[in-house]
């Protein structure tokens, strides 16, 4: 399954940390990349740095026009899932989504999301119908979608790799030029 995150409404002066975390969660939990409808290069740099050390090929593309990206995605056979507390409960639709979508664009907002997004989405999905956070909503959505398999993923070409421990910390460092 190919999953891409589309982050809308990023405000460079106040959302840097949250948007970075949206990207890090996407990367760690099985998405292929993040499209950012803002031209904040700092976000791109910090997520690239994580990927450089921790492996995989997660991409970040900033300054995208979200309407064009959604249109292109749909023309390429992809489906769009907008995460919103107003949507259908994830438990009621996740099975249908898993069966019918091979390519999924997950849309998360920051401030008020334009109504056009609700209309363009194939699914408007609520991770519970209470307001919370785009980071939590994305993490839970990715986990329900992939049924936990993403938690065992290996990242190719990692310079840093954790050796899981019951207690303490162990890390393999495979490149001295960090």
Ligand X SMILES: C[S@@+](CC[C@H](N)C(=O)[O-])C[C@H]1O[C@@H](n2cnc3c(N)ncnc32)[C@H](O)[C@@H]1O
Which of 127, 139, 142, 145 contacts ligand X by CB under 6 A?
Answer: 127
Q: Closest distance between ligand X and the C-beta of residue 29, in Å?
A: 15
**Ranges within 95-114 binding ligand X (CB under 6 A):** 108-110, 112-113
Q: Which two tokens stand for residue 150?
A: 């993403």
- The least CB distance from residue 139 to ligand X, in Å, is 11
The correct pick among 137, 142, 145, 158 for binding ligand X (CB under 6 A) is 137
**Which residue lies nearer to ligand X by CB, 131 or 164?**
131
What whole-number distance in Å separates Cα of residue 159 and Cα of residue 140?
Answer: 28
Q: Is there binding between residue 85 and ligand X (CB under 6 A)?
A: yes
Q: Select 21 or 27, whichever has its Cβ closest to ligand X.
A: 21
Using CB under 6 A, pick the residue from 15, 22, 84, 158 that binds ligand X: 84
- Contact positions vs ligand X (CB under 6 A): 83-85, 108-110, 112-113, 126-128, 130-134, 137
């Amino acid at each position: 399954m190919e999953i891409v995150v589309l982050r809308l409404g990023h405000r460079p002066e106040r959302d840097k940390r949250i948007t970075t975390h949206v990207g890090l969660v996407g990367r760690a939990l099985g998405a292929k990349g993040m499209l950012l409808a803002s031209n904040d290069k700092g976000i791109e740099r910090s997520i690239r740095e994580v990927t450089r050390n921790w492996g995989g090929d997660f991409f970040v593309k900033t300054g995208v026009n979200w309407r064009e990206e959604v249109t292109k995605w749909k023309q390429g056979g992809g489906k769009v899932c907008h995460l919103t507390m107003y949507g259908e409960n994830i438990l009621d639709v996740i099975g249908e989504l898993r069966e019918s979508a091979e390519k999924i664009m997950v849309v998360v907002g920051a401030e008020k999301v334009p109504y056009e997004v609700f209309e363009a989405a194939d699914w408007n999905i609520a991770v519970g119908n209470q307001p919370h956070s785009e980071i939590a909503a994305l993490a839970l959505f990715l986990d329900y979608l992939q049924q936990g398999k993403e938690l065992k993923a290996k990242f190719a070409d990692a310079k840093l790799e954790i050796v899981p421990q019951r207690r303490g910390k162990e890390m393999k460092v495979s490149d001295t030029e960090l």
